[in-house]
Each structure stands twice: as structure tokens, then as C-alpha cells.
Copies of this chain bind each other. A is one copy, B any other.
Amino acid sequence: MRITLIGSGNVATHLGAALKNAGHRIVQVYSRNAHNAALLAYHIGAEAIDDLNSIDPNTDIFIVSVSDDAIAGIAQELSKHNKLIVHTSGATDLYNILAFTDHAGVFYPLQTFSKTKEVDFLTVPLCIEGANESITKTLKEFAQSISNNVYEIDSTQRKTLHLAAVFACNFPNYLYRVAQELLADQQIDFNLLRPLILETAEKVQTNLPANVQTGPAIRNDQKTMFEHLQLLKYEPEWEQLYRLLSQGIIKKD
């Protein structure tokens, strides 16, 4: 496939590398920021542009990896080329593109990307949605060229999936941070918690989280929970969080 990448953030960067490795041809990389466009384009052997008027229409697909708010405006601009346009956003309805063209789809990689850390794209779940069956089929084959985990997910499901990803990724990371700050108060090295954090995530790779819950709340160990709440009494928000999470665990058992 001939591919045009719109955007140069984390998703565009990792996706671009995976597409190039799979033998696709990246025609152009567009970013409002010429430097970012040039940097990514250089790595994946594409032309860098910072003006949508310089778009080469000789492409098969526009992959739009920009901030959610900017997707519709970009889709409107690109629609005149009559090529397939997909966005990569978990939180954005297909309608943001469909409003301007029938050649619309979604190509959402469900992973947290950082520019400094490599990801094995073959393991990344790719959630696709097409405006019609033919587009869905095209996107599915295209997605399978870079990932072993391709799923058809419609816009309604994707909303829930994106919410679930916040619970599975963003919120646990915040809890790691609370733990980090609790330790810092006592001059304890965060290294002590790293193996525990990793093992907790590894456990649910083969089990359902409901089946591997541990800790004082699931044992309804009131004594330990009371002592923990005592330690948190000068951090009322963390205390409330502790109560709410523990009640959830007790109740769900």
C-alpha cells in the first residue's frame, strides 16, 4: 500500500516504523511542525510536508494521527482527493470522517506509546472499522500486515474500549505514582515496588483479574485496612481513594 501519514506524534511514529518494516511505502508525512515532519519522514523514507496543499494525491490511504479535536478539520481538507481516510483515535467516532467522505475508516492501535520505548507492533491490538464492508475488508488485510491481533470494533464498542483502557492503563499508572510518593516520604526506593508492579500485570496475561485479586480488601482484613487508613489521614484524597477501591473489591467478591 502507498500510505500518507498525517501527524508526527507517538502513534504516527510507531505506526510509521511498523508499516515501513512490513514493506509498505510511506509516501509523505505531514505535520504542522516542519521539524517533526522531517524527523519522522527521514526515519521511514518519506517526503516531509507541513502544508496540506502539498499533499501528493497518488496514495492509497491517509492515516490521520492528530489530536482528537483536529481530526474532522483534516478529514474535510483531505476528502477532495477521494482516497480512503482513517483516524487512529480511540475516543473519536467514525462520523468525524464520514461527515465528509464515504471512504472512511478507523485504525486504532490499542497501546500506550512513548517515543523513547520500542514496542513490538505485532502484539499490538489493532481495532478497525470501515464505513462499508469493502473498506472493512481492506483495512483488515492492511492491519494484518503489521499486527497479529486485529479486531473489528464499531464506534459504540470503541467508546467503551477507550474508557476501559483508561481504567487499565492511565489509572493504574496514577496509583503507581501514589505508591511512589508514599515511599518517597519514608526514603524508600521505588525499585522495591517494580517487580510487584510487573508481576501484577503479568498475572492477568493468562488469568482474569477477577480471579487473582489479592490484598487486605479481598480478605476483608479490617485490621490492616484500618491501619492503612490511619497512615493516609493526612492525605484525604488518597484516603478516599483507598476507601472507594477497597469497598469495590469487598463488594465484588
Contact = CB atoms under 8 A, between A and B. Distances in A.
A173 B111 contact: no
A179 interface: yes
A93 B108 CA distance: 49
B197 A201 contact: yes
A237 B248 contact: yes
Contacts of A135: none
Contacts of A69: 223
Contacts of A17: none
Given A91-B227, A170-B217, A176 B204 contact: yes
A127 B183 CA distance: 14
A115 B214 CA distance: 13
Copies held by the complex: 2
A110 to B, nearest CB: 6
A165 interface: yes
A201 B203 contact: no
Contacts of A144: none
A34 interface: no
Interface stretch (A54-62, A72-80, A98-106, A150-158): A150-158
A23 interface: no
The 5 closest A-B pairs by CB, nearest first: A170-B215, A201-B201, A176-B209, A172-B172, A164-B179
